[in-house]
Amino acid sequence: MKRLIAALCVTALCVSILAGCGQSASGGGEAVSVEAVSSIAAGGSLGLMDRYAGMVVAGETAEIQRDSNKTIGDTFVKEGDMVKAGDVLFSYDMEKMQLDLENLRLEKQREENSIVSAQAAIAELENERAKAKDSEKLSYTLQIDTKNADIRESQYNIGLKDRDIANLEASLGSAEVVSPISGRVMSVAEEGSNSGYYYDESGSSGGGTKYITITDVTSLRVEGNINEMNAGALMEGMPILVRSRLDSSVTWTGTLSMIDWEHPVNGNNNNSGGMVYIGGSDSGDDEMTTSSKYPFYVELTDIEGLMLGQHVYIEPDTGGDTEDVPAGPMIPSYYICYDDGGEPFVWAAGSKDKLEKRSVTLGVYDEEQDLYEIAKGLTLSDYIAFPVEGLEEGRPTEKYDPSAMMDEGAGVTEGMTESPAFIG
């Protein structure tokens, strides 16, 4: 269907394209509509290879929990400090813990004393019952049963005290909490604040509250998002190729270390997007899609040349020859014109938003979809015009944004790219 639509468009506009490719004189006049190469390429290169928008983020993050039942004595770090693994972050109030331990021991001693007293009382009641009349024996039996119940309750309480004493004694031996990783202290919660329950990597509650967050800024990894619709395209442990957005011939290798299905991305997180397509847009998931997005992480074998916060592309590393993969944007052939010498060019928005003939170098040709790779001369951030009759260098340009029309409810069908507004 898409190939049929493209063929009809080419046939219907053939004369206008030929005329539009022939103009070169400078002129003014009405503004020419130009569209982003990223938007044009997104509609013309579906299915070549799954690619995801991603961002370089810091390495491991550790959320240090505190025992909400203990009082913090001293905190030795503040936000922004650099720490090493094993550095002491904070300590609990030892004096209070020692007093609590002594109170528990006293309470245990009282329970033990109550057992001794109850046993002595039972012995005395049994002697008296043996000498009592038959009519009085039942009363002594009931009193003995009550004392035995008191003993069982005290024994149960002693068991609880023993557990609490053991836990507190263990805590006294580890009153200082150390950093598990080297990195930067990103946050320190205020004492007594509700900083939320701590969760480990499996998503299970750690039983305490998050107190200090540390991020390893010495190593980098790449974060992307995947939604439920394309969840089967990625698997943990698979080899990954990370590609520069500025120069698609520059790549890094890595492994998909984790897909965090337990924690969906909340809100409109634009740090990293969903699936895009090779040579296509980096806009992420279709905003009309309601499926949840989940973060995934790529551990890199080498981080040379990468910077924290850098935007990249993520794609499965198939192990094939990367030369067979188009490095530049793939655009429909009808955007490409040829000068008298047979050299290809496109009508592009140049400096000061003036129309110009931009020479390009053609790369891979997709005969089935009639797409050309622009190996040199255009990037995804450039804007080009459809070559219709009347185009001249020097005319003002006006950027056309199809996503804005979608936001205004223009009714664009999901997965389709609406034709630009042509101005002759």
**pLDDT per position in the chain (424 positions), as tens?**
444 444 454 444 454 455 557 655 555 678 899 998 887 874 433 334 567 888 998 888 888 988 877 788 889 999 999 999 999 999 888 788 888 889 999 999 999 999 999 999 999 999 999 999 989 999 999 999 999 999 999 999 999 999 999 888 877 766 788 999 888 898 998 765 443 333 333 333 334 578 999 988 778 899 998 887 777 778 899 999 998 888 878 899 999 998 988 888 765 444 444 444 333 334 344 443 456 888 999 999 888 888 888 988 888 887 754 445 556 788 999 999 999 999 999 999 998 899 999 999 998 888 877 888 888 999 888 999 999 888 989 999 998 765 444 344 433 333 333 333 333 3
Please state the separation of Cα 298 from the chain's center in Å: 11
Residue 304 DSSP symbol: T
Domain identity same for 319 and 336: no
Buried b (16+ CB within 10 A) or exposed e, 27-43: eeeeebbbbbbbbbbbb
Residue 424 lies in a domain: no
**Greatest Cα-to-Cα distance within the chain, rounded to the nearest angstrom:** 132
Residue-level pLDDT at 2: 47
Domain identity same for 191 and 282: no
Residue-level pLDDT at 406: 39
| Residues contacting 286, CB < 8 A, separation 6+ | 414, 415
The domain containing residue 41 runs over which residues?
Answer: 2-48+328-407
d(CA 350, CA 222): 33
Phi, psi of 295, rounded to the nearest 5 degrees:
-75, 145
Angle at CA 30, nearest 5°, toward 6 and 409? 55
Domain identity same for 21 and 166: no
Domain identity same for 204 and 306: no
d(CA 267, CA 292): 10
Domain identity same for 113 and 258: no
Domain boundary among 290, 324, 358: 324
d(CA 349, CA 216): 43
Residue-level pLDDT at 200: 37
Total domain count, the chain: 4
Q: Can you give the C-alpha Rg of the chain in angstroms? A: 36
CA distances from 142 to 130, 146, 147, 151 (A): 14, 6, 9, 14
Domain identity same for 163 and 129: yes
Residue-level pLDDT at 19: 52
Residue-level pLDDT at 249: 80
Residue 276 lies in a domain: yes
Residue-level pLDDT at 219: 80
Residue 420 lies in a domain: no
Domain identity same for 313 and 224: yes
Residue 355 lies in a domain: yes
Q: Are 19 and 389 in contact (CB under 8 A)?
A: yes
Residue 422 lies in a domain: no
The CATH number assigned to the domain holding 229 equals 2.40.30.170
Domain identity same for 305 and 372: no
Q: Are 349 and 423 in contact (CB under 8 A)?
A: no
